């Protein structure tokens, strides 16, 4: 009985080792992204940083001055995006997928702000930034999957 378990378990271990080797090889080959994918990645990063800096500007605009609450409010708004920045810089496809979900929450916030007459301009800017980020995320994910033939 013990031998049967070992013989059934051995192929699983080898499959896992092969999977790790192929993932490491894939990660090494992804260091040099093709120009179109690199351009999409740069657009995604520019959109993310644009949204982060937008939150800083909007917080300063709404509060009126730089006080103790300003960095706290900015950090609270930007934290979900800041958490995914290392994965975005490392071109981890899972991070790009999760950010595409998170940006939809920001889009909901932007639409609610856009309906407030006193902050309409800020809401429209946030809507545009969210739409740009979402579109560039989708383009990056599709190009990345097509180029590296990553399964769904």
| Residues 60 and 48 grouped into a single domain | yes
| Residues 70 and 144 grouped into a single domain | yes
Range of the domain at 5: 1-30
| Residues 25 and 44 grouped into a single domain | no
Question: How many other CB atoms are there within 10 angstroms of residue 29's CB atom?
Answer: 10
Domain count across the chain: 2
**What is the pTM for the complete model shown?**
0.77
- Render pLDDT for 40-97 as a digit per residue (tens, 0 to 9): 999 999 999 999 999 999 999 888 888 888 999 999 999 999 999 999 999 999 999 9
| Residues 23 and 41 grouped into a single domain | no
Of 88, 86, 113, 111, which is closest to residue 99 (Cα–Cα)?
88
């Amino acid at each position: 009985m013990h031998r049967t378990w070992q013989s059934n378990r051995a192929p699983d271990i080898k499959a896992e080792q092969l999977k790790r080797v192929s993932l490491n090889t894939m990660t090494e080959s992804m260091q040099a992204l093709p120009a179109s994918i690199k351009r999409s990645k740069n657009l995604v990063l520019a959109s993310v940083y644009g949204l982060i800096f937008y939150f800083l500007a909007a917080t300063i605009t709404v509060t009126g001055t730089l006080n103790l609450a300003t960095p706290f409010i900015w950090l609270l708004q930007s934290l979900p995006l800041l958490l995914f920045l290392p994965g975005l810089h490392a071109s981890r496809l899972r991070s790009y997928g999760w950010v595409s979900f998170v940006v939809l929450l920001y889009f909901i916030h932007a639409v609610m702000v856009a309906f407030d007459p006193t902050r309409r301009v800020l809401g429209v800017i946030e809507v545009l930034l969210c739409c740009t980020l979402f579109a560039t995320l989708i383009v990056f994910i599709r190009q990345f999957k097509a180029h590296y033939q990553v399964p769904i």
